[in-house]
Amino acid sequence: MKTVVTGKHIDVGESLRTHVETSLAAVVEKYFVKAIEAHVVFSRLRHQFCAELSVHAGRGLMMQASNEAADAYAAFDGAAERLDKRLRRHKRRLRNHHKVKGEAAEEVATDYVLSADEAGAASAADGQPLVIAEIKTSIPHLSVSEAVMRLDLADLPALLFRNSAHGNLNLLYRRRDGNLGWIDPALVAQGNALTDKAH
Which string of DSSP letters, residue by residue, matches the chain? -EEEEEEESS---HHHHHHHHHHHHHHHHTT-SS--EEEEEEEEETTEEEEEEEEEEETTEEEEEEEEESSHHHHHHHHHHHHHHHHHHHHHHHHHT-S---PPPEEEEEEEEE--SHHHHHTSTTSSPPEEEEEEEEEEEE-HHHHHHHHHHHT-SEEEEEETTT--EEEEEE-TTS-EEEE-HHHHHHHHHHHHHH-
**62 or 122: which carries more pLDDT confidence?**
62
pLDDT score of 98 = 44
Structure confidence by residue, pLDDT tens digits, 97-138: 544 444 455 677 777 777 776 554 455 566 677 878 888 888
Taken in order of first residue, the domains within the chain and their CATH numbers are 2-96 (3.30.160.100), 106-198 (3.30.505.50)
| Overall average pLDDT of the 160-182 stretch | 89
User: Which pTM was predicted?
Assistant: 0.55
- Per-residue pLDDT at 74 exceeds 90: yes
The mean pLDDT of the chain is 80
**193 or 150: which carries more pLDDT confidence?**
150
- Per-residue pLDDT at 183 exceeds 80: yes
Phi, then psi, of 107 in degrees rounded to 5: -120, 150
